[in-house]
Amino acid sequence: MTKQELRNLLEEMSLEEKIDQMNQLAGGFFTEDSVITGPMAEMGITEENISLTGSVLGLSGAALLKEIQKKYMEKHPHKIPLLFMMDIINGFKTIFPIPLGQGATFEPELSGRLARIAAREASASGLHVTFSPMADLVRDARWGRVMESTGEDPYLNSLFTEAMVKGYQGEDLREEGSIAACVKHFAGYGAPDAGRDYNTVELSSHSLREFYLPAYEAGICAGSALVMTSFNTIEGVPATGNRHLMRKILREEMGFDGVLISDWAAIEEMIFHGYCRNRKDAALRAARAGVDIDMMAGIYSENFRKLVQSGEISMELIDESVMRILELKNKLGLFENPYKDADEQKEKEVILCREHRTLAREAARKSFVLLKNEEILPLDKKKKTAYIGPYTERRNLMGSWSLTGDEKDIATLKEAVMNSALGENAVFCCGSPMLDNDVSLEGFQDCIKEEIPREEQERMLAKAEETARNAEIVVMALGEDRLQSGEATSRADIQIPGIQQELFERVCRVNHQVIVVLFCGRPLDIRKIAEKAKGILVAWLPGTEGAGAITDVLSGDYSPCGKLPMSFPYCVGQVPVHYNEYATGRPHVPGKDKDRFRSKYLDIPNTPLYPFGYGLSYTEFSISPVELSSSSMTRQGQITASVMVRNTGNVKGTETVQMYIHDIAASVVRPVKELKSFLKVTLEPGEEQKVSFAITDRELRFLSENGIWESELGEFEVFIGGSSATENAAVFSLTL
């Protein structure tokens, strides 16, 4: 449709049609067995609301969605098609590593390719919109949703957010295989107090703007069609009703002109925040903030007619939101083809096809982070190796948000090992249940509570000890259950489950040659594991091809190259912990622990166990001192910072060379280091390569005391190394 045709359509629509375009309902309202009872009836949802609602979430499948669309449009007075939306977080049917694992690849372009594959599969199944990417900056591992972010660094998050948006949407939303992206959760959702999901957020305006907003803005600049509001408050005002945040910052400053959708029932939650008196008040505040779609609260449908009639909401405000929704449908080409790419035959061809599985395996391998290796990896295939742990035979290697994935499509680690060269001398033993008996977990679609009598647990542990005693090497597949991370999974104790810790200790007593393959959706407290294990490989929740990718790395067919996108804390007492902290007026000096009056703990170190950017390979790299092309630069010029990177080991490997900058003195205190660029280099044994980074005025800008992004004259340190802990530095000046 042309812009004028859309305006004509808007003018012809009744008030009820307009209001319900702004209403989103879950798929259950549109299936054959749907009945409006209980809580749904309490929402005030009527048959008319269902027949006119503008979008649906939570359903997929080409045949089903085509049928729903057909029936809907036959009844709709203006034949306006439905939008079908879903949380497609890290793959549709072909499941990739969780976003935090993707962040560990330090390859945003790879995540863009993964998003494109997810879009191809989802669009063939009839979907139009994904609630992804999550651009929330995360620094507190207690918060379970860190798994959906790409980590603790604003620059890295921005690159990944941009790449994912472009991957989902392609060049044109109308083209086959494209779906609309939705950047979420705007804003600051990744900084809940105490790491507790849905909690309030206390951020200074400066921190919000400089560290938390950039990744959202990167997604918006990339053209994201939608943005989702967050559950939390910002400066005491719930984001969903925050006019300054949504009207001033999002729309005016960032230039976002797409659809703003609430998170699930977030409009209603403003009542429970104590911000709105009732549902009518919540509807009014959300509308004034510019929220276009009410997700699963029914508040707009229930209240807008009365608010328009009373003059509290103008028709212009309603029309503004409805036009944005119609424009999105038009950009997707739904008025010409309401089914878009939904195609049963295409589904069969693209879903879990060889191309998609191959890339899933590549992504998983690149996401793994080798934290420790005392000359035990890669495995010696001739040695008898025992694979012990609950993840040895666990088929579900997907994150909790992999709603459309199916564990039947995934090989277990045991199956993958037996199908590889490692299988000849391998033995297997589960060793323990995944969880302690007192732990009950609830996911979106399943509930887990293991009740295994202590006598049976003891038999499992004893068998594991015997298996380990008779092996030369032990690979322990341990970690969180997949439902221990994700939404609503805040944890104060971020260690592996107690029964698995007991299994680890008992195995280590009888065999010291232990490697841990760690499955997790967040950084964990692994001090006890790091003390005794000879090798630690973080596999995250790696997805459909995770088991095969693990065997590729354990066998040495692929040398690990992942880097931590989020620091692993020494213990939970440190969190939130991140590399780009401020120095404080009394910074702790390593080695001077007896200096009492410094910013430090009495009982633990300040630094994390493993810092951001850290990760080993099967080879070693040397990085020469930093060389600068000049000791000074002007705002119009640039400096080149260079190092020589050499593979000093015996096998081919990849190093991620990272450049950080520190503004030594500024009008607003600066972090001790800030990632500004990185480059992955792959070198043969003995090979070396010069790696250079251009430093321009852009890398030196920050949110100054003037409230604008600018650089300031003075001295800067540039660090180049293999992690954020590098001290390999040189100094230059920005001059007139």
Q: What is the pLDDT of residues 544-590, one digit of tens each?
A: 999 999 999 999 999 999 999 999 999 999 999 999 999 999 998 87
0.95 surpassed by pTM: yes
Residue type (1 letter), 184? K
> For the ranges 38-42, 100-104, 224-228, 413-417, which has the lowest average pLDDT?
38-42
Tell me the average pLDDT across 212-233. Answer: 98
- Dihedral Cα 578, 579, 580, 585, nearest 10 deg: 90
Per-residue model confidence (pLDDT) at position 40? 56
Residue-wise burial string across 331-360, b where 16 or more C-beta atoms lie within 10 A, e elsewhere: bbbbbeebebbbbeebbeebbbeeebbebb
Mark whether 380 is an active-site residue. no
Asked if residue 37 has pLDDT above 60, the reply is no
Q: Is the Cβ–Cβ distance between 295 and 266 less than 8 Å?
A: yes
* HSE value, Cβ hemisphere, 13 Å, CA-based, for 190: 31
Domains 367-574 and 621-734 share a fold: no
Give the C-alpha separation, 58 to 365, whole Å. Answer: 30
Per-residue model confidence (pLDDT) at position 155? 98
Q: Does domain 621-734 have CATH number 2.60.40.10?
A: yes
The matching CATH number, chosen from 3.40.50.300, 3.40.50.1700, 3.90.226.10, 3.30.360.10, for 367-574 is 3.40.50.1700
Instruction: Kindly name the residue from 263, 292, 481, 663 that is annotated as catalytic.
Output: 263
What tokens were used for 510?
């009888």
Asked if residue 381 has pLDDT above 80, the reply is yes
- pLDDT confidence tier of residue 36, bands split at 50, 70 and 90: very low
Give the C-alpha separation, 359 to 591, whole Å. Answer: 45
CB neighbour list of residue 504: distance below 8 Å, 6 or more residues apart: 476, 478, 496, 514, 516, 528, 529, 532, 533
Tell me the average pLDDT across 387-413. Answer: 96
- pLDDT confidence tier of residue 101, bands split at 50, 70 and 90: very high
Asked if residue 7 has pLDDT above 80, the reply is yes
- How is the chain split among helix, strand and coil, in percent rounded to 5? 35, 20, 45
Q: 3-class SS at 688?
A: strand
Closest CA to 27 of 6, 50, 49, 4: 50
Share of residues in the chain with pLDDT > 70 (%) = 98
Arithmetic mean of pLDDT over the chain: 96
Domain boundaries, the chain: 367-574, 621-734
Asked if residue 602 has pLDDT above 60, the reply is yes
Q: Is the Cβ–Cβ distance between 172 and 178 less than 8 Å?
A: yes
- pLDDT confidence tier of residue 38, bands split at 50, 70 and 90: very low
Closest CA to 106 of 726, 681, 695: 681
Q: What is the pLDDT of residues 649-680, one digit of tens each?
A: 999 999 999 999 999 999 999 999 999 999 99
| Residue 688: other Cβ atoms inside 10 A | 16
What tokens were used for 474?
């032990």
- The neighbouring-strand residues paired with 692 are 642
- pLDDT confidence tier of residue 35, bands split at 50, 70 and 90: very low
Q: Phi and psi of 639, rounded to 5°?
A: -120, 145
Give the C-alpha separation, 644 to 622, whole Å. Answer: 8
- Provide the terminal-to-terminal Cα distance of the chain, rounded to the nearest Å: 53
Note if the bond before 378 is cis, omega within 30 degrees: yes
- The neighbouring-strand residues paired with 587 are 599
Q: What is the pLDDT of residues 180-208, one digit of tens each?
A: 999 999 999 999 999 999 999 999 999 99
Return the ∠ at Cα 22 (arms to 262 and 314), rounded to 5°.
105
Tell me the average pLDDT across 366-385. Answer: 97
Q: Is the Cβ–Cβ distance between 23 and 53 less than 8 Å?
A: yes
Per-residue model confidence (pLDDT) at position 32? 63
- pLDDT confidence tier of residue 692, bands split at 50, 70 and 90: very high
- pLDDT confidence tier of residue 387, bands split at 50, 70 and 90: very high
Give the C-alpha separation, 397 to 379, whole Å. Answer: 22
Q: 3-class SS at 175?
A: coil
Sheet of strand 714-721, all strands in order from the earlier edge strand to the far edge: 632-633, 729-734, 714-721, 653-663, 674-683
> What is the residue-wise DSSP string for 127-141?
--EE---B------T
Q: Phi and psi of 441, rounded to 5°?
A: -120, 140
Name the CA radius of gyration of the chain, rounded. 27
Note if the bond before 576 is cis, omega within 30 degrees: yes
Residue-wise burial string across 382-400, b where 16 or more C-beta atoms lie within 10 A, e elsewhere: eeebbbbbbbbebbbbbbb
Q: What is the pLDDT of residues 141-190, one digit of tens each?
A: 999 999 999 999 999 999 999 999 999 999 999 999 999 999 999 999 99
| Pairing verdict, β 535-538 and 514-519 | parallel
What tokens were used for 471?
């092996």
